[in-house]
Amino acid sequence: MKQQPLVLVTGSCGLIGSEVARSFARLGFAVSGIDSNHRAVFFGPDGDTSWVLGQLQQEIPGYRHDSLDIRDRAAVLTLMEQLRPDLIIHTAAQPSHDRAAAIPFLDFEVNALGTLHLLEAARQFCPDSPFIHMSTNKVYGDRPNTLALAEHETRWDYADPAYEHGIAEEFSIDQSKHSIFGASKVAADVMVQEYGRYFNMPTCCLRGGCLTGPNHAGVELHGFLSYLVKCNVEGREYRVFGYKGKQVRDNIHSEDVANFMYEFWKAPRVAEVYNLGGGKANSCSIVEAFSMAEEVTGKKMAWRYVDENRIGDHICYYSDLRKMQQHYPAWSITKSLPVIFQEIAVSWNKRLGVAV
């Protein structure tokens, strides 16, 4: 009989995976992680997360790590049969919609096929264990751009009062341009729901907005807020792609993501979908983010405008959190946007050895 519940975390060296591993360890879980450091393959040396593995091994007693590629079906099945975890948190992914177009097979194999491998392994060996999947708001494609928008001095916002709280889960994912990344994540998202409904497994998809925090290894193609603050700290030029820099994102701290996962673990539901973001209160445009970064670091932001938006990019997106809060009233956003900026800046200063 297990002495403590075991959580299996895929992508355990990524931003959300590492936060989840630490959080659940503090909650008394045994932690097993899977991470093949494919972020370095996707993004080069700047995306390398091997330093995080060292931290996890130091900080979490008994942490088990497998450098396993989730595309390897036999290896996934073998590991799941051996571990039979009490909770599976799937955060491993190719996360960039820009990068996916150059590596479509790898993107789909990691995001869609890898998710199927994990789901089937869970169905065979631990079907009653909650399966939490980190999806993305990119499953909605560019449909949010069809909504009426109002242009303000520093941001776009929804003009229709029906979207005062943001995008809700019933928003359609069809008839839109998703990017290759968004399409592979749709496949994974729907499969996670289907395993829940068809096999009555406790699954949920968390359609994340901008997930961030001090441990994020942000790069230009992925990790908006972390990369923006890094550029400010280093004095590196940040490129703004289209929409006058007024495009809006909601930002959620990785700790608040992990906190929601714990609430789901305590009271799991079948085939649920949640839009997991910072909500309107934690939303900002790029130009607003420049000002917030400058306020934290005292350094002027160097940036250049490129009059060409990224394919499938949202002009305005923030999550309607009301369904999450209705289902799990003990959960709420605890990290405000100013706190997030401060934590990221401190982290980059430390990692880059920049004098504050």
User: How large is the average pLDDT for residues 246-250?
Assistant: 96
Summarised one tens digit per residue, pLDDT across range 136-170 is 999 999 999 999 999 999 999 999 999 999 999 99
Q: How confident is the model at residue 88 (pLDDT cuts 50, 70, 90)?
A: very high
For residue range 117-141, list pLDDT tens digits in order. 999 999 999 999 999 999 999 999 9
Flag whether pLDDT at 237 surpasses 90: yes
Q: What is the DSSP string of 154-173?
A: S-EEE-SGGGTT-B-TTS--
Question: What number of CA atoms fall less than 13 Å from residue 244's CA on the CB side?
Answer: 8
Q: Would you state the pLDDT for residue 150?
A: 98
| For residues 307-321, average pLDDT | 90
Cα separation, 263 vs 328, whole angstroms: 7
pLDDT value at 221 more than 70: no
The rounded distance, in Å, linking the Cα atoms of 106 and 58 is: 31
For the chain, the average pLDDT equals: 94
Residue 2: what pLDDT?
55
Has residue 230 got a pLDDT over 60?
Answer: yes
Q: How many CB atoms lie within 10 A of CB 125?
A: 17
The larger pLDDT score, comparing residue 7 to residue 95, is at: 7
Provide the sign of the torsion angle of the four alpha carbons 59, 64, 65, 70, taken in this order: negative
- Is the Cβ–Cβ distance between 348 and 229 less than 8 Å? yes
Chain Cα centroid distance, residue 232: 22
Q: How far apart are CA 88 and CA 266, in angstroms?
A: 13
pLDDT at 51 over 90: no
Residue 222, pLDDT score? 65
Q: Which two tokens stand for residue 259?
A: 């906190």
DSSP 106: H
Question: Cα(47)–Cα(40) distance, rounded to whole angstroms?
Answer: 5
Flag whether pLDDT at 234 surpasses 50: yes
Contacts of 152 (CB under 8 A, 6+ apart): 246
Residue found under tokens 């350094």: 299
Give start and end residues of each alpha helix (H) in 84-174. 97-100, 104-108, 114-125
Q: Are 199 and 317 in contact (CB under 8 A)?
A: no
Beta strands in the chain, from DSSP E residues, in sequence order: 6-10, 30-34, 64-66, 87-90, 131-136, 149-151, 156-158, 203-208, 210-212, 238-241, 248-253, 272-276, 283-285, 303-306, 316-317
The domains of the chain, with CATH numbers, are 6-352 (3.40.50.720)
Taking only the tens place, the pLDDT of each residue in 257-273 is 999 999 999 999 999 99
DSSP 202: -
Of 32-36, 61-65, 213-217, 245-249, give the lowest mean pLDDT range. 213-217
DSSP state of 219: B
C-beta atoms surrounding 121 within 10 Å: 22
Over residues 167-203, the pLDDT tens digits come to 999 999 999 999 999 999 999 999 999 999 999 999 9
The pairing of beta strand 316-317 with beta strand 248-253:
parallel
Task: Give 263-306 pLDDT, tens digit per residue.
Answer: 999 999 999 999 999 999 999 999 999 999 999 999 999 999 99
pLDDT (0 to 100) of residue 1 = 44
Per-residue pLDDT at 351 = 85
